[in-house]
Amino acid sequence: MESTYKRFIDVTLKELKHELVKEIKEDFTRELRATTKRFKIQRTDKVGFRKKSRRTS
């Protein structure tokens, strides 16, 4: 009977670990995409930016 409980606990722990790893991967991917998107926006904001020259008359 103890071996059945131990096996059940082991299987449950493996499933929980699998779900946790899956959640971490999804969160990491989401954060990576957001960071990449912000980086691309920052780069495109800087490209083609010129200071207006001041004319002294």
Q: Has residue 54 been placed in a domain?
A: no
Residue 14 placed within a domain:
yes
Tell whether 37 is covered by a domain: no
Q: 29: pLDDT confidence band, cut at 50, 70 and 90?
A: very high
Q: What is the mean pLDDT of residues 52-57?
A: 58
Please check whether residue 15 lies inside any domain of the structure. yes
- Domain range for 10: 1-30
Cβ-count burial 7-28 (b if 16+ within 10 Å, e if not): eeeeeeeeeeeeeeeeeeeeee
Q: How many domains does the chain have?
A: 1
> Does residue 45 lie in a domain region?
no
Q: Is residue 57 part of a domain?
A: no
Over pLDDT 90: what percentage of the chain? 47
List CB contacts of 11: < 8 A, sequence separation 6 or more: none
- The pTM score is 0.57
Whole-number pLDDT of residue 27: 97
Is residue 13, in this structure, part of any structural domain at all?
yes
- pLDDT(5) > 60: yes
Rounded to whole angstroms, how far apart are CA atoms 22 and 14? 12
Tell me, yes or no, whether 19 lies in a domain: yes
Q: Give me the pLDDT at residue 3, please.
A: 86
